[in-house]
Amino acid sequence: MTSKFGKVAVLMGGKSAEREISLMSGKCVLAALRSNGVDAHAFDPAERDLTELRRDGYARCFVALHGRGGEDGTVQGALEVLGLPYTGSGVMGSAIGMDKWRTKMIWLANGLPTPRYRILSGRDDWKAVAADLGLPLIVKPANEGSTLGLTRVNSVSQLPEAYELAAKKYHDMALAEQFIDGPEYTASIVAEETLPLIRIEAPQGNYDYQNKYFTDDTKYHCPCGLEPAVEDRLKALALQAFRLVGCVGWGRVDLMLDAQGRPWLLEVNTIPGMTDHSLVPMAARAAGIAFEDLCVRILESAHVE
C-alpha cells in the first residue's frame, strides 16, 4: 500500500537549538511510517552530508527538523537542488514563516490582526519601549521556534535581561511584542484543512519551552470550548494567515483572543513538533486521524517547488 513512496528519509536532529526536540519528533514519525509499511530511515544532517540522500537512493524526505537550518528554507533549498520531494512549505514560505518580523509585516499589510511590536537593540530606551507597548510585554527572538528565548516582562528592569537572552544567547534579532491578555489557541493545518482548534492553558499563563515539552502541568483543551461559528472564523483566519506567508502542506498557526474576543495572530510554525506532547497530532486525533495516518498524509504531500 505504501511502497509507492519508495525509500524515505526522515530528516531529524540537525544543528539548531531545537535539535533535542527534532530528534524526538523524528523518532515518532519514523516509527509511525514504518508501522504503515513505509521504507523509512533516520537521516541526521548534522552527521551526514545531504548529497548522500541521492547516493543512497532516497525517493522523498519527511522533514522533521526544527529551527534554523531545517525550518528556515535552508534544507528546503538543498532538497530542491537535489530534486527530492519533501514535506512542508517550500523555500520562500519556510524562510518567511521562520521570521516573525517579516511574517508580521505581511499580515499587517493585508489587514490581519497581530500584536503591536518593536525590533529591539541594545541601545534602546527601555522605558520608552515599555511606554510604547505597555506592560507586561513579551520579548522573544525573531527567528527561533519552540518558545526558545521567550520572556514575559512585567517591569522595565527586566527588559535588559530579556533582550540579552533573546538576542545574544540565540544569536538573533530580538522582538518586543504587545502582551495579549486572554486564552491562547493553535490551529493545525494539514493538506489545506484546518483541524479542530486547541486551547492551551499553561501554568501562570507561561507557555515556555519547559512547559511546552517537558512538564505535564500545561493543559490542552480539544474541543477548545468556543462556539462552532467562532471556531470556524478563527480556523479560516489561520488558514488565510498561513497562505499569505506562502506556506503549504502542513503547519500550525498560533493565535490568542483578548478580553473583547478579538483574535490576534502570533506566529506560524512550518514544521511543528511531532512528539507525544505535540499539538498537531492532538488536533488530528480529535478529527479522528490516528498519528500513523497523519504521518502518511503529510508524506503524501511531499513536493518539489
Task: Find the catalytic residue in 143, 163, 273, 278.
Answer: 273
Are 2 and 32 spatial neighbours (Cβ–Cβ below 8 Å)?
no
CA 81 centroid distance within chain: 24
Task: Find the catalytic residue in 16, 25, 269, 278.
Answer: 269
Active site residue 143: no
At 123, which amino acid appears? R
User: Mean pLDDT for each 10-residue chunk of the chain (305 residues)?
Assistant: 84 93 97 97 98 97 94 97 98 96 97 97 94 96 77 96 85 88 97 96 63 69 97 98 98 97 97 91 97 97 90
pLDDT at 146: 52
Residue 180, C-beta contacts closer than 8 angstroms, at least 6 positions apart: 115, 256, 257, 258, 264
Active site residue 93: no
pLDDT at 205: 57
Task: Find the catalytic residue in 213, 246, 249, 278.
Answer: 213
- Which of 200, 187, 284 lies closest to 241 in space, CA to CA? 187
Active site residue 20: no
Task: Find the catalytic residue in 94, 146, 211, 278.
Answer: 146
Query: What is the residue-wise DSSP string for 52-73?
Result: HHHHTT--EEEE---STTTSSS
Are 250 and 118 spatial neighbours (Cβ–Cβ below 8 Å)?
no
Q: How far is CA 72 from CA 150, 175, 247, 269, in A?
A: 19, 18, 12, 10
Residue 91: count of CB within 10 angstroms of its CB: 18
pLDDT at 145: 64
Active site residue 254: yes
Specify the residue for cell string 512547559.
211
Task: Find the catalytic residue in 14, 18, 70, 143.
Answer: 18
pLDDT at 206: 55
- Number of C-alpha atoms within 13 angstroms, CB side, residue 287? 20
Task: Find the catalytic residue in 71, 177, 208, 267.
Answer: 267
Q: Give the DSSP letter of residue 303.
A: B
Secondary structure element (H or E) that encloses residue 252, with its range:
strand 250-257
Cell matching residue 21: 526536540
Specify the residue for cell string 470550548.
225
Task: Find the catalytic residue in 67, 177, 252, 278.
Answer: 252
Active site residue 269: yes
At 116, which amino acid appears? R
- Number of C-alpha atoms within 13 angstroms, CB side, residue 186? 25
Active site residue 213: yes
pLDDT at 275: 87
Are 195 and 172 spatial neighbours (Cβ–Cβ below 8 Å)?
no
pLDDT at 305: 76
pLDDT at 36: 95
The per-residue b/e assignment along 251-278, b for 16 or more CB within 10 angstroms, e otherwise, is: bbbbbbbeeeeebbbbbbbbbbbbbebb
3-state SS class at 116: coil
